[in-house]
């Protein structure tokens, strides 16, 4: 199960790192034009903040355990990303973007599995 948790955490880290860097590195207008219509509901600073949370969460899923420095940050990062996905699902639900809710739920469940495993029976 330890290997499975590492794989899930790594996949989540890549997904959130790429998504977060995109939000941090591109202007809000370009994100909206690329299909992220939800950014119109938020300020440019809020979109950058969400991106920063995703980048930090991605780093927190892997680096603390990989370097054995404060590995308790791994389940905390996973919990934070699960909460972030819960918020994303609510936003997409309000906007009637039902296909995106499925993506949010999958990422939420994967993050919750990592949090459960690393807080519980497979802690570092």
Residue 58's pLDDT is: 98
User: How far apart are the C-alpha atoms of 76 and 23, rounded to whole Å?
Assistant: 22
Q: Which tens digit of pLDDT belongs to each residue from 70-103? A: 999 999 999 999 999 999 999 999 999 999 999 9
Does this model's pTM top 0.85? My answer is yes
Confidence of residue 124 (pLDDT cuts 50, 70, 90): confident
- Mean pLDDT, the chain, rounded, equals 97
Residue 70's pLDDT is: 96
Each domain of the chain, given as residue ranges in start order, spans 2-119
| pLDDT exceeds cutoff 90 at 31 | yes
Residue 81's pLDDT is: 98
Whole-number Cα distances in Å, 37 to 33, 67, 110: 7, 38, 25
Whole-number Cα distances in Å, 96 to 37, 67, 91, 99: 11, 42, 9, 9
Residue 86's pLDDT is: 98
């Amino acid at each position: 199960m330890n290997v499975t948790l590492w794989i899930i955490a790594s996949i989540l880290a890549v997904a959130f790192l790429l998504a977060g860097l995109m939000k941090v590195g591109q202007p809000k207008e370009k994100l909206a034009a690329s299909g992220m219509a939800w950014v119109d509901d938020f300020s440019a600073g809020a979109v950058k903040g969400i991106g920063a949370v995703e980048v930090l969460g991605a780093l927190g899923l892997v680096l603390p355990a990989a370097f054995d420095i404060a590995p308790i940050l791994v389940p905390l990062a996973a919990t934070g990303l699960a909460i972030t996905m819960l918020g994303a699902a609510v936003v997409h639900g309000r906007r009637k973007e039902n296909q995106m809710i499925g993506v949010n739920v999958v990422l939420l469940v994967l993050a919750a599995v990592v949090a459960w495993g690393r807080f519980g029976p497979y802690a570092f």
